[in-house]
Structure 1
Amino acid sequence: MSASRPPARLRLQLFPRAETAVKKGHPWVFGDSIKSRNREGEAGEMAVMYDRNDRFLALGFYDPDSPIRVRIVHCGKPATIDRAWWRERAVSAKSRRDEVFNEATNGARCINGESDGFPGLVADCYADTLVVKVYTAGWLRNWDEVESVLREVFEPKFLVLRMSRNLLEASEFEEGFRGEEGDEVVVFLENGIRFESAVRHGQKTGFFLDQRDNRALVEKLVKGRDVLNVFSFSGGFSLYAARGGAKSVTDLDISAHALESAVQNFKLNADDPRITAVPHEIVQADAFKWMDETERKFDLIVVDPPSLAKRARDQEGAISAYRHLNARAISMLRPGGILVAASCSAHVPAADFHSMIRELAERSGRRWKELWTSGHAPDHQATFPEAEYLKAVCLELN
């Protein structure tokens, strides 16, 4: 009896609009963009796409259960996707971060998904530990090869694999350390400040590295000021504020675990007299309720909530929430106070967010000026619109 033939390569043809988008570099193909296919596809297999003239268009990871039906790996001329291909992309991603890593910073993003040519994969470095989180099954099909590339290029002592919830439920793979076991909580440096990252069980990959540059900007503004850090999580902005000479810092968060992590991060920096000299208060409460009810005033307030619009239909509610939080923050600022308003909601465009904050300042009746706006840090580069989630604006109000 002859061996069964492997199934034919999954072939897709896209509707003209999607074809044009792929040619222009967009890395996603949605389910309703596929005009035809030669068979049903399996999660994680490599699909080949052809244009309307039946010429090669692109290759990508196929996922029948996701609205993002294909994550583009390569577009243009036919190519062989092998270990050498991924190694070249990993080396390029590393070289783009040459100025991020230094003696004072050994925690940063090494690979930022599609924007670094690794669709559905992010990799964050915390000291000697690399945490890799995957969002599509294509990576798991060839994991040994991918892991060997990441180990060769980034040279971590320990490597942790983490998966999105949908993959975790469907895959036989297990999360955790690959090979040698390391510490589940890793201490790393960011601009000379020590932080802990829960690399196995913490949110995302264990820490929010994307606000590093904004934290450094805040450090320059806080001298002699009472600082409130709203949605403080593990106290990142507060530690920078303390080192920058704040009069006091207050962390506000609903999560007891997050506040415990903030306290621990302050302890990790107990050898820095600039930090230990600053009173650090923690407030466990719902930020909306506490801000509405408090009569306290501050000189600098950071409002950095979690994503309030995870889907497009959440946009209106998110904008309303941002408006409420930041209007209240403005009313809590003393004369000459500073508001740092941030958003990590991709469905709220930066231009709309900045305009809303400026409008709130204008409506307050106070004289104000804009000190800066910011977007993505270099290690979190965004090369297509849906990847552009982070934005912040800083205003001074008299």
Structure 2
Amino acid sequence: MSESRKPARLRLQLFPRAETAVRKGHPWVFGDSIKSQNRDGEAGEMAVMYDRQDRFMALGFYDPDSPIRVRIVHCGKPATIDRGWWLERALLAKERRAEVSGENTDGFRCINGESDGFPGLVADRYANTLVVKLYTPAWLRHWEEMESVLRDVFEPEFLVLRMSRNLSESSELSEGFRGSRGTKTVVFQENGIRFESAVVHGQKTGFFLDQRENRARVESLARGREVLNVFSFSGGFSLYAARGGAKTVTDLDISTHALESAERNFKLNASDPQITKVSHECVQADAFKWMDETDRKFDLIVVDPPSLAKRAREKDGALAAYRHLNRRAIAMLRPGGILVAASCSAHVPAAEFLSMIRELAEHSGRNWREHWTSGHAPDHPAVFPEAEYLKAVCLEFD
């Protein structure tokens, strides 16, 4: 009987345009960008890409069932992708967060997917718990090694594995705590404010850490103002506004679960006299309908809806929704009022979103000035266009 042979290394050649994109640092290769390959590949297999002169170009995770056929791990000279490789990259990611983490902040993103060299994987820290979410089946065959690396570098007491829906339905790996079991809800700090994170079943990894800097900016604007937080979720902007000296804060969300979480977060900060003296109101309603029908006025309005364009074809509808919400918000501002408008829709480019908000301001008939714009937080780097999703702008109206 002949010995079974290990299959030949999966070898790909790309069309010229894709080859150029990879050399420039783009981390994705789409299926229709592959000119030829020597055999069929399996999910998570490391594919080797060569250029037109048959020279080594890049290595990446192969996924036969995804439009993103390869997620680049390394480009340049030949390299060995092993535990030491991943350990070095995880340590670099940790070093990049040195200025974010600290005594008053123990909730932040540790690894941001492709932008930190870990394609299709994010890791968020909440106090003593690390939550890792996988977005590609490529990691399933490498998970044991990666879990070991993450534990060594970030040293969490507890580790939670989560997966995108398409993975959790087909994977043999189970979601939830790996090894020691912690609590399903973890309390962490962000700039000294306490929040809860539903690390096992909450949205994303349990909390939206990417708006930390914008929440701090709202805190600096809130003194003496009546504040409306539209699509408030768990009250992040509201708590910062309260600590910043707001007169009142109103959370507006359609979700009972979200508003109850906001109430609990305010109770978590009961030891802060500045927060406890602020009147906090929760309004459960559809934001579009409520804003259209109310005659209430505010001094500071934050409009931060969930992603309104999950696909490219939904961009026009998202822009129309952003226009509707922010036009109404401007009309609800008292003289001297401030609008903070944000978008987390990757398919709505920052330039188009900001242009639309400025156009609304111009057409409002009021004098206005722009205080700032912002993009990604330091722990949420975006090193290629498709990774850029977060943008916000702050305008003041006479």
Equivalent position of 2:197 in the other structure: 197
Aligned equivalents of 1:293, 1:68: Cα separation in 2: 44
> Counterpart of 1:237 in 2: which secondary structure?
helix
1:33-62 CA distance string (max 9 Å, x none): 111111121111111111111111111111
| Partner amino acid, structure 2, of 1:122 | V
Distance 1:247 1:311 in 2: 39
Alpha-carbon distance in 2 for matches of 1:75, 1:333: 51
1:396 Cα shift? 0.2
Query: Which amino acid counterpart does residue 173 of structure 2 have in structure 1?
Result: F
Partner of 1:241: 241
TM-score between both structures, scaled by the size of structure 1: 0.99
Q: In structure 2, how many angstroms separate the alpha carbons of the residues matched to 1:258 and 1:144?
A: 34
Structure 1 residue 31, shift from structure 2 partner: 1.2
Cα separation, 1, equivalents of 2:311 and 2:151? 35
Q: CA offset at residue 364 of structure 1? A: 0.2
Which residue in the other structure is 1:386 paired with?
386
Matched residues, number: 398
CA contact (8 A) 1:61 1:136 kept: no
Quote the Cα distance in structure 1 between the aligned partners of 2:244 and 2:199: 28
Query: Which position in structure 1 is the counterpart of 2:363?
Result: 363
TM alignment of 1:1-398, pairs within 5 A: 1-398=1-398
Runs of 4+ in 1 over 6 A off after TM superposition: none
- SS for the counterpart of 1:8 is coil
Q: For 2:221, what is the secondary structure of its paired residue?
A: coil
- In the alignment, the residues of structure 1 paired with residue 289 and residue 347 of structure 2 have an alpha-carbon distance, to the nearest angstrom, of 25
Q: Shift in Å at residue 3 of structure 1? A: 3.0
Structure 1: how far apart are the matches of 2:18 and 2:305?
34
How many Å separate the matches in 1 of 2:313 and 2:6?
A: 42
**Match of 1:252, SS?**
strand
Q: Distance in 2 between matches of 1:6 and 1:184?
A: 43
Find the residue that maps to 2:379 and give its secondary structure.
helix
Contact 1:93 1:110 in 2 (8 A): yes
Once residues 41 and 313 of structure 1 are traced to their aligned partners in structure 2, the CA distance between those partners, rounded to angstroms, is: 30
What are the Cα deviations for residues 321-352 of structure 1, in whole angstroms up to 9, with x where unaligned? 10010000000000100000000011111111
Of 132-141 and 99-108, deviating more is 132-141
How far is 1:295 from its partner? 0.7
Gaps of 5+ in 2: none
Structure 1 stretch 380-389 or stretch 136-145: which is displaced more?
136-145
- Tell me how far apart the structure 1 counterparts of residues 85 and 18 of structure 2 sit (CA, whole Å): 25
TM-score if structure 2 supplies the norm length? 0.99
CA distance in 2, matches of 1:142, 1:33: 25
Amino acid aligned to 1:170: S
Unaligned runs of 5+ in 1: none
SS in 1 for 2:373: strand
Please state whether the residue corresponding to 1:378 is helix, strand or coil: coil
Shift of 1:145: 1.0
User: After superposition, what is the alpha-carbon deviation per residue over 1:343-372, rounded to whole angstroms, capped at 9, x for unaligned?
Assistant: 001111111111110110000000000011
Q: Letter of the aligned partner of 1:386 in structure 2? A: E
Post-superposition offset of 1:2: 2.7
Q: Secondary structure at the match of 2:281?
A: strand
TM-aligned CA deviation for residue 6 of structure 1: 2.3
Q: 1:105: how far off? A: 0.3
Report the Cα distance in structure 2 between the residues aligned to 1:319 and 1:35, rounded to whole angstroms. Answer: 37
SS of the equivalent of 1:380 reads coil
SS where residue 381 of structure 1 aligns? Answer: coil
Distance (whole Å) between structure 2 residues aligned to residue 33 and residue 315 of structure 1: 25
Q: Give aligned-pair identity as a percent.
A: 82
SS in 2 for 1:170: coil
**One-letter code aligned to 1:102:** G
